[in-house]
Amino acid sequence: MEDLLTKASARTGTHTGSRLIWLALFGFLVLSIAFVAVPVFLIQPFRPQTQRALEVSYLLRAWSPLATVIILLAVFALASWQWKQIHRWWRKALLLIILFLSIVPAWFARQNHFEWMFNPLHHSSYVKVADAGFVRDSDMVLAVKLNNEAVAYPVRLMAYHHVVQDTVGGTPICATY
């Protein structure tokens, strides 16, 4: 009888440890994704941004390469240990999926996703006011006049690109919003 209780107790302890490892794996995965997704959410185009949101976004962006690699190493260590403990194929498949999904944020953390979101407009072109049907009379514009040449950049378009490199009146400019 005592032997049965010892085996049941050992199984329960292993089962609890296994649950904690699965919980840690999912927690690490969510944390890793958050390091990449939160800055993107806070600095999305066409949305008002607060100073605090910008600070948080840039802080997370600065720490995300290191944090996601540390998390990836922790996930790899836990997954390796868990791999030896489990025998069902679907649990091993789930471990591989979690490991793969932890690699994705570690890769994205090294990409400049702000640049993807706010792609600068390098080759702007001009149209005459009469031909600018996409600009409504009520639209706000950023206007620049240099050396008798005047141009206007619709704020609606600038809100997406944020940066336009251009030449006005023979002078190179960089219009930002």
CA–CA gap between residue 18 and residue 95 (Å, rounded): 12
* Average pLDDT over every residue of 27-48: 86
Strand 163-168 relative to strand 149-154: parallel, antiparallel, unpaired?
unpaired
| pLDDT at 75 exceeding the cut of 70 | yes
What is the predicted pLDDT for the residue at 123? 66
Tens of pLDDT, residues 97-154:
999 999 999 998 888 766 666 666 666 666 766 677 777 778 888 888 999 988 888 8
What is the predicted pLDDT for the residue at 3? 52
Contacts of 115 (CB under 8 A, 6+ apart): none
| pLDDT at 35 exceeding the cut of 80 | yes
Tokens at residue 74, please? 């922790």
* Average pLDDT over every residue of 51-58: 87
What is the predicted pLDDT for the residue at 117? 64
Among residues 124, 76, 81, which one has the least CA distance to residue 98? 76
CA–CA gap between residue 92 and residue 83 (Å, rounded): 6
Taking a C-beta distance cutoff of 8 angstroms, is the pair 61, 114 a contact? yes
What is the predicted pLDDT for the residue at 165? 80
What is the predicted pLDDT for the residue at 160? 66
**Which has more confidence, 14 or 68?**
68
What is the predicted pLDDT for the residue at 146? 92
Single pTM value for the model: 0.61
Range with the lowest mean pLDDT among 20-24, 34-38, 132-136, 171-175? 132-136
Among residues 131, 171, 134, which one has the least CA distance to residue 154? 134
pLDDT-derived band at 71, boundaries 50, 70, 90: very high
pLDDT-derived band at 4, boundaries 50, 70, 90: very low
